[in-house]
Homo-oligomer: A and B are copies of this chain.
């Protein structure tokens, strides 16, 4: 019987064994939502990197540079971490190099996973369908905020668990915690996340529009996947979901 577990923070990744498993990376506000959106708007590939410096190096090699720290676009880069930055025909067909406060740093901790895919509320149902088809062990990896557990990624983890077939075993207390949070949330995600520190951080930055966007369900049928260090969309998703 396949199992689903939840890693609530990148700092807890070392206690999970990713070998042979599907890792679902989630950073609802906003990295994974933005990555999914970028592919909807025709981006060719996204190279996640840890540091601003490395991001700049690739930018000089011809990549379009996207960089965010503390919720803001970093000076000298074309794009930030808002999905709205990618509603832009200039990105279509292009390679992007991408660094964010939390999302991209998470990736380096989970390299042993069999496949690494990216989830958010905007692609919830296709991710659930894909996982239900694969029937493999899953770890949902929440990006959190600077190592701290966060509410919106935990809620996403619980919501995704609720969409898995009952043949999936919930493994570990973090999965139970996330699923319990989902059961409390109801349909008004924004109201439920009112106390989230990151929602409030983004509100203060005037990014209410981004928050609303990131909490919309099933806007896109795209699943980004990390292959050989670069993120590209899984092809023919409808065929991959039985």
Taking Cβ atoms with an 8 Å cutoff, the residues of A that contact B are: 8-9, 11-12, 14-15, 145-151, 154, 170, 172-174, 176-177, 180-181, 183-184, 195-198
State A184–B176 Cα separation when bound (angstroms): 12
Instruction: Let me know if B149 and A12 touch, CB within 8 A.
Output: yes
Q: A189 CB to closest chain B CB, in angstroms?
A: 14
Question: Which B residue's beta carbon lies closest to that of A183?
Answer: B184
Chain A interface, DSSP helix/strand/loop, else mixed: helix
- Contact among B146, B148, B177 for A151, CB-based, below 8 A: B177
Contacts of A150 in B (CB 8 A): 173
Inside 8 A of A8's CB, which chain B residues have their CB?
A: 8, 149
Q: How far is the CA of A40 from the CA of B130 in the complex (A)?
A: 55
Nearest residue, chain B, Cβ from A170 = B195
One of B146, B177, B196 near A176 (C-beta < 8 A)? B196
Instruction: With A147-B15, A148-B15 as known contacts, state yes or no: A197 contacts B184, CB within 8 Å.
Output: no
Measured in the bound complex, the distance between the Cα atoms of B170 and A180 in whole Å is 20
A146 touches B15 (CB 8 A): yes
Quick one: which of B11, B149, B170, B172 contacts A174, CB cutoff 8 A? B149
Contact status of A173 and B147, CB under 8 A, knowing A12-B12, A180-B184, A184-B184: no
Residues of chain B within 8 A (CB-CB) of A174 are 148-149
- A149 CA to B180 CA in the complex, in Å? 14
* Besides A11-B12, A148-B174, A180-B184, 10 other A-B contacts (C-beta < 8 A): A8-B8, A11-B11, A12-B12, A145-B173, A148-B172, A150-B173, A151-B177, A170-B195, A176-B195, A177-B177
